[in-house]
Amino acid sequence: MARAFDGVRVIDFSQVLAGPFCAFQLGLLGATVIKVENPQGGDQMRRMMTDARFADIGMAPAFCAMNAGKRSITLDLKHPRAGEVVRRLVAGADVVLENFKAGTMDRAGLGWEELRAVNPKLVYCSISGYGQAGPYAGTAAYDGAIQAASGMMSVTGHEATGPTRAGFTAVDLSTGVTAAFAVASALFRRQVTGEGQRIDTSMLDTALTMLTPLIAGWQIGGQMPELLGNMGPAKLPTADSFRTGDGWLLITALTQAQFAGICRTIGREELAADPRFADTAARQANAAALKAEIEAALADASATEWAGRLGRNGVPASAINTIPQVLDHPQLAHRTLMQTVPGAAAGVDGDLPIVTAGFGADTDGPRLDRAPPRLGEHTDEVLGEAGYDAAEIAALRAAGAV
């Protein structure tokens, strides 16, 4: 039995979210991921989005979530001996992953041309905000900036709030998935051609792929996207969020049959025959009145109760859950999304629950094999695998290279 990337070796120079999430996805499918970190503190994410309990030991929860399953070595890429170490690592690798500003690896003598000379079968994946060429190449970028630049924020929010960024790192993580797919494609291509490949993954490009229906609506149909709040792109008052007796409910009723299902569920079947709401156009014209009627009825029970009742009447709906609530969702017990690794290996008390891949398989599916690494935990082990003996490793340490 073998997972898809068993035997694949990834040298991961990336940090923060997009690149590490790409490498994490590959590792779940069996790839050996060597995380290369700066000796002075390592990946920025080790101390971000957390409190002192985890920051002080360099094990922020978000870092653990992006880096479980990897091994960590420290290497100062500005040190004169760094290039020698990287070439030794790359000679036995299949994939190099980096998310520095465009041109950084080239200036360090570790770009695509230099490293494919060492290993012609190498898959070299660069992740950046705007890509490796063009007037914005080399521009620093974080998730929020790309949400703004891509137009994503222009369609998120309400008229009262103005444009709003998503409450999660939508661009970073989708870019990580895009990069993982690109690497997988390049490895598949290599089986056929025997050749390596350069991959240029852009956060901006990825964000635009997520906006594909809206872009097509504008370019082909001439429809200017706008702020819709929680209303769906069909602009129907029955596809929106509603206040209930306890919590908020999101309903996505798009068809006449689904609207009739709402009316049956709330005990207001006469609304389906009301001329103000008789068809899609009428419901759009009288949206405020219809929403008021529905919300008045929903005040009698909780969002969770209404979601169940609506579902039984064929109406797509869900309570708007908090993170703790969704983690208690009964459906998760039937999925393989959440896995745990021992926290003690990472210096953290108790088991670490980690979100893995968004799919399962009947055999050899995604699986976590080890805890997130402490900074430089595997330096000697990995250098030994690259051919360095104990004296050479000691010399590299004494020189400050690792």
Asked if 369 is an active-site residue, the reply is no
Q: Smallest Cα–Cα separation from 315: which of 271, 267, 257, 272?
A: 257
Catalytic residue among 43, 94, 143, 172: 172
Q: 397: which 2 tokens?
A: 């340490």
Strand 9-12, strand 317-319: pairing: unpaired
Q: Closest Cα to residue 259, out of 305, 291, 296?
A: 291
Q: Where in the chain is the domain with CATH 3.30.1540.10?
A: 239-320
Report d(CA 366, CA 225) in Å as an integer: 37
Q: How far apart are CA 330 and CA 367, in angstroms?
A: 21
Q: What is the CA radius of gyration of the chain?
A: 25
Question: The domain 9-210+336-399 is classified under which CATH number: 3.40.50.10540, 3.30.420.40, 3.40.50.10470, 3.40.50.2300?
Answer: 3.40.50.10540
3 state SS of 361: coil
pLDDT tens series, the chain, 402 aa = 799 999 999 999 999 999 999 999 999 999 999 999 999 999 999 999 999 989 999 999 999 999 999 999 999 999 999 999 999 999 999 999 999 999 999 999 999 999 999 999 999 999 999 999 999 998 989 999 999 999 999 999 998 889 999 999 999 999 999 999 999 999 999 999 999 999 999 999 999 999 999 999 999 999 999 898 898 888 899 999 999 999 999 999 999 999 999 999 999 999 999 999 999 999 999 999 999 999 999 999 999 999 999 999 999 999 999 999 999 999 999 999 999 998 887 778 888 999 999 999 999 999 999 999 999 999 999 999 999 999 999 999 999 999
Domain with CATH 3.40.50.10540 in the chain: 9-210+336-399
The torsion angles phi and psi of 109, rounded to 5 degrees, stand at 75, 20
DSSP H/E element including 240:
strand 239-243
Pair 14, 203: CB distance under 8 Å: no
Of 83, 207, 69, the C-alpha closest to 143 is: 207
Distance of CA 39 to the CA centre of its chain: 26
Cα–Cα distance measured from residue 103 to residue 132, given in angstroms and rounded to the nearest whole number: 7
> Please, what sign has the CA dihedral across residues 43, 47, 50, 56?
positive
Domain 239-320 top-level CATH class: alpha beta
Query: How far apart, in Å, do the first and last CA atoms of the chain sit?
Result: 36
CA separation (Å) from 279 to 230, 236, 293, 305, 311? 21, 11, 16, 27, 22
Using alpha carbons, list the distances in angstroms from residue 372 to 62, 64, 175.
Answer: 11, 5, 21
